Structure formats: structure tokens, C-alpha cells
Amino acid sequence: MRVAFYTIGCKLNQFETEFMREQFEDEGWEVVPFREEADVYIINTCTVTSQADAKSRQSIRQAKKRNPDAVVVAVGCYPQVAAEEVVECGADVVLGNREKLNVLGFVKEHIEKGTPVVRVSELDTTFSPMPVRDFSSHSRAFVKVQDGCNRRCSYCIVWRARGPSRSAPPSLVLDEAKRLVDAGFEEIVLTGTHLGAYGRDRGTSLVELLEKLLCVDGLKKIRLSSLEPTEITSPLIELMASTGKIARHLHIPLQSASNRILKLMNRPYTAEQFEELVMEIAERLPGVGIGVDVIVGFPTETDEDFEKTYSLIERLPIYYMHIFSYSPRPQTPAASLKPQVRPDIKKKRWERLNLLKAQKKRAFVASFVGKVLDATVEGRPAPEAGYWSAVSENYIPLLVPQNMGHMKKRVLAFRVEEARGDKAVAVPASNTPEASPR
């Protein structure tokens, strides 16, 4: 039996897809690419935007078209909040986030009975471990340390899809990290719905967890997924500055630089506080790659509001952006705000920020020519002929010598030789086993 997986959305979804994949591999299923014909297609959905919903629906239809006799499974955040919509798309098995723990069982139930299976349970209030032995398609391993969110941003439905914040026991995280190092991984990525909230339910913190992980032998890099501005504390910055083992890469949701809009969004900081934070990070962590999330066209956003956002991003040392056009989410306060911004205005604002994004990425990459960066060698050749792929600790895609393929999963030092747009050509730095950006 052949099974294919397709993941939409965040790194946490990517991790959970790996967990589901191992369920099937353990029973002898063959995993094939999603674009190929399979007996079962599993779509790990996202509902963070209406575009994510649409992509989930499209993937269901594509799977059905590819093999009309296949079992199509839609699982995760979209069914969690809108199961009936997903059923109408033609999925044979519709599962919520809690059901990810036993996707194989529900597929077997459908095959045995020949009837649709719809299971969307209430979300857990305690952390559910999802141990993953190996990440066969990745060079960096993911460790899920937290799930759920207690914040109530006015535009967001993720807290409904993921449930309350809950953290993995530190001992579990350490055991997983050690096991992954034994499997050959030298970089791990800590993931969670609201990573900065890690430990609050257990009387600990993300900083304390990192201090423990720094002691894991053979673990060369720890990368953090997205962190809220209010959770990037001075102790965290100082810890990152004191070690070369925490990747100098931070993704920080901004959303808007208009304080009026931030208040409507129920975001707990001001534009001035965000600017001060970014400048402190840049000063204390030379070479850091800072990414931001931005929403354009939030209800009532004026040209003046947008210009504040554009101006702040333009002057800050930001490497890249994830730019989202606001889309109303059902069951959220922002959906009823008036006036909603016209689609053509959203498009123009998105396009302006996208141009700025390209400029800032090129400038950031070019600033590292002649410098040495730690990077993780990936398990795939680069799209450019004659090169292999690697990703630097500050998140620059590197083009490294083609003969580096056998070094997959290794964290090595590379010297940047040339900037090519948003990528850089790099060669191994001789006699430099490890390096921080400099």
C-alpha cells in the first residue's frame, strides 16, 4: 500500500507530518511523493488564513483527481474548526488535531467499513508526546516542545484550532534531542504554536530549557521557531550572545507598526517597543537574521497606518518578511470590524512590501561576503547546477560545492565568496570547524 503526505502551514505541522509518516512506515506502507499515484493521501491542513483553507481544499481535489479510488484524509487545523466544509470537499476521512495520534487507525476503519470517517475531538489540555525517530526528508530535526495558544489576537483562529498552551516536560525534550543527535542530526529546531510560552504551565521557561539543551553532547545548533516580541527577553538575548550553539536567527511577528492597529489586533506591544527590541537584538547578536510577519489590509487600516509599517521595516535591520493580506476568519472579533479594506488596496500594499522585502534580502546576503558562517548541509542539490544546498545559522541559503552531499546533516563553517541575489556562494572555511557570524 502506498501513502502520500502533503503539509500546509507551519513547522509544527511539518513535525506532526513526520510523526504520522512513521505510523504508516512502521506497518510496511510505502511513502511516495504527493504528486504520484497513491492508495492513501494525507493532507495536513492549515487554517491560519483563507488562502490556507483554499489550499487545503485544492489539495483534496487534486488527490481525488490523481486517483479517484484513493482514500483522501484531511487532518489538522482546518477540520478542527470547520469539519463540515472539509467533508463537502470530498475527503473520505476528516480528523482534528488530536486524531493525529492515530491517523493510521482511522484509515483502517474507513477501509474496513467503506464509509466516511469524521472524528474531531476536543483538544487536549495536557501535552501529548509525538516521538519521531528520524526525519528522512530533512537535514535539520524538529522537536515539538509546546502546543496551543492562550493569546486572543483579534484576527486569529489558531487558538481554537490548537487549544490551550501546554508544554513538553524538559526531560522528554532532552531525551528526544539526544536521540536525534545519535541519529546523526547536528541541528534541531524547537517548534510550538506559541514557543515563547514554553514552560509557563510547568514552572519553567524557554531559557531554562535552552540551558539544558546546550549541554547535550554532539548538538551543534539549536534553532528557535517564531517568538512573540514580548517573549524575547534580555536573559534570552544574553544566552544567545554567550554561546555559538543557538542559531542567530529570530522570527518575530510584527503584524503592524501602527499602534492603533496593534491595539485593534490585541497585540501586547507598541511599534516603539518593537523597534527598541530589534535594535537591541542587532546590537547584542552581530550577524543575526531577523524575520518578521506583517499583515496588510487589516480592517480600518489607512494609508497612514500602512506607511508607518513600511517606514519602520525600511529602517530596521530586518532580513526578510512573511507578508499576509488580511482575510477575515470566522469566529474572530476582527471579522466584524468596519470598514474592511478593499482587495485592490491590499494588493498594492502587499506589492510595495514585497519589493522592500527583496531589497532587504539582497542587501543582507551581500553584507556577508568574505565572512564565515556556520551552516547545516542539506540533503539535496541546489537548484543551480553544480552546487549543493546548505542553510546558514542566520538563515541564508548557501550554494556550496557539489561534493558536499555526503556531509548531509553536518554543521560546518563556510566562507561566503559571492552574493547571488537572495543566495550566497560559499566554500568550506579551512581550519575553522565552527564559527559564529562575523
pLDDT tens digits along 274-327: 999 999 999 999 999 999 999 999 999 999 999 999 999 999 999 999 999 999
Residue 287 inside a domain? The answer is: no
Residues 67 and 136 occupy one common structural domain: no
Residues 383 and 421 occupy one common structural domain: yes
Of all residues in the chain, the percent with pLDDT exceeding 90 is 94
Nearest CA among 286, 264, 271, 179 for reference residue 229: 271
Q: Which spans in 286-342 are helix H?
A: 303-315
Task: State residue 320 phi and psi, 5-degree precision.
Answer: -150, 170
Q: What is the CATH number of the domain that holds 185?
A: 3.30.750.210
Model confidence at 124: pLDDT above 90: no
| Interval 221-266: pLDDT, tens | 999 999 999 999 999 999 999 999 999 999 999 999 999 999 999 9
Residue 92 inside a domain? The answer is: yes
Average pLDDT value for residue range 267-277 = 98
Residues 182 and 109 occupy one common structural domain: no
Chain mean pLDDT for the chain: 95
Name the percent of the chain in helix, strand, coil, to the closest 5: 40, 25, 40
Range of the domain at 132: 124-247
What is the model's pTM? 0.92
Residues 165 and 215 occupy one common structural domain: yes
Model confidence at 177: pLDDT above 80: yes
Q: How many domains does the chain have?
A: 3
**Among 89, 104, 119, which residue terminates a domain?**
119
Residues 34 and 145 occupy one common structural domain: no
Q: What is the pLDDT of residue 344?
A: 97
Q: What is the CATH number of the domain that holds 408?
A: 2.40.50
Residues 89 and 183 occupy one common structural domain: no
Q: What is the pLDDT of residue 138?
A: 83
Q: Which amino acid is at 189?
A: V
Sheet holding 30-32, edge to edge: 30-32, 2-7, 40-45, 71-76, 93-95, 117-119
Model confidence at 435: pLDDT above 80: no
Residues 56 and 103 occupy one common structural domain: yes
Grade residue 169 by pLDDT with cuts at 50, 70 and 90.
very high
**Among 222, 247, 272, which residue terminates a domain?**
247
Residue 322 inside a domain? The answer is: no
Model confidence at 437: pLDDT above 70: no
Residue 437 inside a domain? The answer is: no
Model confidence at 438: pLDDT above 50: no
Grade residue 219 by pLDDT with cuts at 50, 70 and 90.
very high
Q: What is the pLDDT of residue 146?
A: 97
**Exposed/middle/buried for residue 24 (C-beta within 10 Å: 0-12, 13-18, 19+):** buried
Q: What is the CATH number of the domain that holds 82?
A: 3.40.50.12160
Task: State residue 353 phi and psi, 5-degree precision.
Answer: -65, -35
C-alpha cell at 275: 523597534
Model confidence at 434: pLDDT above 60: no
Residues 176 and 149 occupy one common structural domain: yes
Residue 295 inside a domain? The answer is: no
Residues 312-327, buried b or exposed e (16+ Cβ, 10 A)? bbeebbbbbbebbbbb
Residue 313 inside a domain? The answer is: no
Q: How many CB atoms lie within 10 A of CB 331?
A: 9
Sign of CA dihedral 99, 100, 105, 109: positive
Residue 309 inside a domain? The answer is: no
**Among 247, 265, 295, which residue terminates a domain?**
247
Residue 17: which H helix or E strand, with range?
helix 11-25
Residue 24 inside a domain? The answer is: yes
If you count them, how many residues does the chain have?
438
